[in-house]
């Protein structure tokens, strides 16, 4: 089973200096397999892909007006692990993560990657990883600018990386 390494960002909101920092970071990761953007300025993802040439998966957030060709949810299957990607705004996650957790149970996923709240979350509930990389541009709740790294082989390892 090959180890798969994924960089995860969310809520970039067109912040040019932070996007350039992420591009430099991604270019320096020679073992990175996939880049995921969890919405809110999904167009930033296209620019990052052009600059890094890394395979990318993008979901649409609540600020991605008129980007209807981009799905609001995606499911990845990697190394026998099932991962839900969503921005999270449709699950009322600013109040709590219950709706998102139950969606994960419904879909029988091993992990949920989400954004929207602009603060990192890296917890496991009933063997489901709930992972938010925070925001690279507009952190909230006392957090700092951050992104995430997932490494998937027999297990899913998750890390929040401060910029």
pLDDT of residue 65: 86
User: In the structure encoding, which two tokens stand for residue 35, read together?
Assistant: 């880049």
Q: What is the pLDDT of residues 67-109, one digit of tens each?
A: 889 999 999 999 999 999 999 999 999 999 999 999 999 999 9
Whole-number average pLDDT of the chain: 94
pLDDT of residue 43: 87
Q: What is the pLDDT of residues 18-40, one digit of tens each?
A: 899 999 998 898 899 999 999 99
| pTM for the whole structure | 0.95
Q: How many domains does the chain have?
A: 1
Task: State the CATH number of the domain containing residue 70.
Answer: 3.60.21.10
Judged against a pLDDT cut of 80, whether residue 1 lies above it is answered with: no
Q: Are 20 and 124 in contact (CB under 8 A)?
A: no
- Percent of residues, the chain, with pLDDT higher than 70: 100
Q: By residue range, what is the domain housing residue 116?
A: 4-162
């Amino acid at each position: 089973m090959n180890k798969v390494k994924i960089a995860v960002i969310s809520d970039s909101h067109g912040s040019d200096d932070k996007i350039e920092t992420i591009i430099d970071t991604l270019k320096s990761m020679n073992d990175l397999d996939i880049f995921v953007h969890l919405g809110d300025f999904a167009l930033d993802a296209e620019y990052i892909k052009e600059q890094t040439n890394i395979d990318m998966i993008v979901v649409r957030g609540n600020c991605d007006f008129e980007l209807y060709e981009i799905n609001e949810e995606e499911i990845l299957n990697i190394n026998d692990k099932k991962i839900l990607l969503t921005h999270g705004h449709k699950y009322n996650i600013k109040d709590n993560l219950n709706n998102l957790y139950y969606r994960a149970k419904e879909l029988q996923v091993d992990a949920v990657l989400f954004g929207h709240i602009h603060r990192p979350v890296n917890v496991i509930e009933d063997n489901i990883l709930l992972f938010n990389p925070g925001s690279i541009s507009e952190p909230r709740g006392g957090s700092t600018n951050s992104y995430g790294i997932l490494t998937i082989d027999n297990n899913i390892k998750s890390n929040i990386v401060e910029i």
